[in-house]
Structure 1
Amino acid sequence: MSNTKLIIEERAANIGNFMVGRLLPFRQKRMVGPFIFIDHMGPACLSDSENLDIAMHPHIGLSTLTYLFEGAIMHRDSLGTEVEIKPGAVNWMTAGKGVVHTERTPEYLRHSKKMLHGLQIWVALPKADEQCDPSFTHVSADEVPSWEDNNVHFKLIAGKAFGKQSPVPVYSPLYFIEIKSSETKTISIGEHLFGESALYILEGSIKSDGYTYETKQLLVAKDSTLCAFEIEANSTIYIFGGNAFPEERFIEWNFVASDKALIAKAKNDWKADKFPKVINETVRIPLPTPKRFGG
């Protein structure tokens, strides 16, 4: 594929008792535009005794984007937010100078079999906004811009593209696009993209320049404006990217910053229990042994 700079295979990672597929960061590609971290959760069939239970943990310097295909997650944070996210909706939490949250199976599902499948994404903040006040926005599924073109279904989950704008309050020029097709179609959308760009295949496959790319592959483009491919029938893909930052970003545990001193302070503050609390939550995830994501 002449426009493919890098092909990243989804790698297994473990978050507690839940397996995810890690896409970013990768040793040869730490970010795509402002996108710095992407996990593919599931699909997982949880028994009546298995639940998602991610206790209190902190973030700085980023916005989290949670987008589900199946299942439900109850989000609670130190801002006082308590929101259940369901398929097609968007949870957008901006950590800024510091926020704490939990992610759990909703109470009404905890004693029954359930599915969980979705994407967890971190978007780094511009340097001027890294220490902004934290905030939270929930965008319902019917608020996400969606349209059809030549029997191909598009959703603009976040950012700007195709002359449309998602209501998700992003901090820098970016796009996160879902494309689904029940038929084999040729798609050329490079004129709508900018900056760095990557394509993730959730289901099905695509073809370009005689090559076939399949499920769980992430393709990083050399030039986003040359994005053209054939999507196979019954395929779902995600295209994301945007303008890269002029400064390097560092990532350690749940912290992202352009200055390592901000990460060091966040680590010390978490160990000293100086971050804000989540109401009705008592369990904190301890700071792990130093380890950087990726590779």
Structure 2
Amino acid sequence: MSNIGLIIEERAADIGNFLVGRLLPFRQKRAVGPFVFIDHMGPSALKDYENLDVPPHPHIGLSTLTYLFEGAIFHRDSIGSAMEIEPGAVNWMTAGKGVVHSERTPEYLRTTDKNLHGFQIWVALPKDMEQSEPTFHHIGAEEIPIWAEGNTQYKLIAGEAFGRKSPVPVHSKMFFIEIKTQTAQKLKIGEELYGEVGLYVLNGKVNIEGNDYGIKQLMIAKNAQLCEFETSDNCTVYLFGGEPFDDERFIYWNFVSSDRALIEEAKVNWKNQNYDAFPLVPGDNDEYVPLPETGLNVKNRS
């Protein structure tokens, strides 16, 4: 019997002026462990007149994780954080009761050709942290645990697995793992995992129980502890997963919560531009992304 319970194909989604491949949420699978949202950004070659511009927008009840393979994004938020992220590093922002942030191409790249490729991820918060104060952390690429076993390289981007722990300050038991193989390998790693797990192939292909799977697919295992697969040469895969929460998480736009009332309150506060609930972003407060019901992509505050 196959250990693959579901295969999710990437679906095109518009995040403003940039198309991404959406993996989660999916109608048949709303979350994998605490992961409730995964976007694959790119790979995109942007001309000198093309830039990523996601104006200030709000979040509640989740942590965002940004991880790049190529390019750079400048993050600003209502806490006062202003940080450029480059390949291999992690931006980890916990929204808690409410935060606003923007993501844009850095100024020094805005008039040159550039590439952009990476993951944008949301991780739901434990119920007792959904109303916490927002925080932001930047973890440099050199701080992320990397190790090799033969011709296989492992990177623990966030969470705990393989007896190791990433410095990314996560709030529940989870893992986000990169595995690269130079030559074809058979990997049996289920004993290192727990909870739920999804496997995404970035490069190459994997063979699971006699079937080949390639890029732009997220394979969800029925049992994380039975996770094993064969890789092709020069293969890169990512594992997302961990222990799921007991309570359901509701999602509306950029809001995640175990309590629908908190989402309704956030909708009203953002629609009315309540700065007590959602403060302005220092250095980027001339425009914002309104609630989807308005039918507008960007709205000026003036």
Whether TM exceeds 0.5 here: the answer is yes
Q: Name the aligned partner's letter for residue 196 of structure 1.
A: E
- 1:120-199 equivalences in 2 (<5 Å): 120-199=120-199
CA deviation profile, 1:136-161 (whole Å, cap 9, x unmatched): 00000000000001210100000000
Partner of 1:218: 218
Partner of 1:116: 116
Shift of 1:280: 1.9
2:289 to 274, 278, 285: 285
Shift of 1:173: 0.3
Q: Give the secondary structure class of the aligned counterpart of 1:248.
A: coil
CA deviation profile, 1:258-279 (whole Å, cap 9, x unmatched): 0110000001000111111101
Partner of 1:106: 106
For normalisation by structure 2, the TM-score amounts to 0.95
Partner of 1:276: 279
Structure 2 Cα separation of the partners of residues 56 and 100 of structure 1? 6
Structure 1 Cα separation of the partners of residues 204 and 261 of structure 2? 43
Is 1:73 the counterpart of 2:73? The answer is yes
Structure 2 Cα separation of the partners of residues 246 and 290 of structure 1? 34
Structure 2 Cα separation of the partners of residues 178 and 230 of structure 1? 15
Q: Unaligned stretches of 5+ in structure 1?
A: none
Q: Name the aligned partner's letter for residue 229 of structure 2.
A: F
Shift of 1:290: 8.8
- 1:178-257 equivalences in 2 (<5 Å): 178-257=178-257
Shift of 1:254: 0.3
Partner of 1:27: 27
Structure 2 Cα separation of the partners of residues 215 and 290 of structure 1? 35
Structure 2 Cα separation of the partners of residues 17 and 45 of structure 1? 14
Structure 2 Cα separation of the partners of residues 2 and 105 of structure 1? 43
Q: Give the secondary structure class of the aligned counterpart of 1:66.
A: strand
Is 1:97 the counterpart of 2:97? The answer is yes
Is 1:43 the counterpart of 2:24? The answer is no
Q: Using a 3 Å threshold, how does the CA distance of structure 1 residues 290 and 182 change in structure 2: closer, same or farther?
A: farther
Q: Using a 3 Å threshold, how does the CA distance of structure 1 residues 230 and 106 change in structure 2: closer, same or farther?
A: same
Structure 2 Cα separation of the partners of residues 96 and 222 of structure 1? 31
Structure 1 Cα separation of the partners of residues 265 and 64 of structure 2? 20
Percentage of pairs with the same residue: 63
Structure 2 Cα separation of the partners of residues 209 and 239 of structure 1? 18
Structure 2 Cα separation of the partners of residues 16 and 171 of structure 1? 29
Q: Name the aligned partner's letter for residue 280 of structure 1.
A: G
Q: Give the secondary structure class of the aligned counterpart of 2:281.
A: coil
Structure 2 Cα separation of the partners of residues 182 and 13 of structure 1? 32
Q: Give the secondary structure class of the aligned counterpart of 1:198.
A: strand
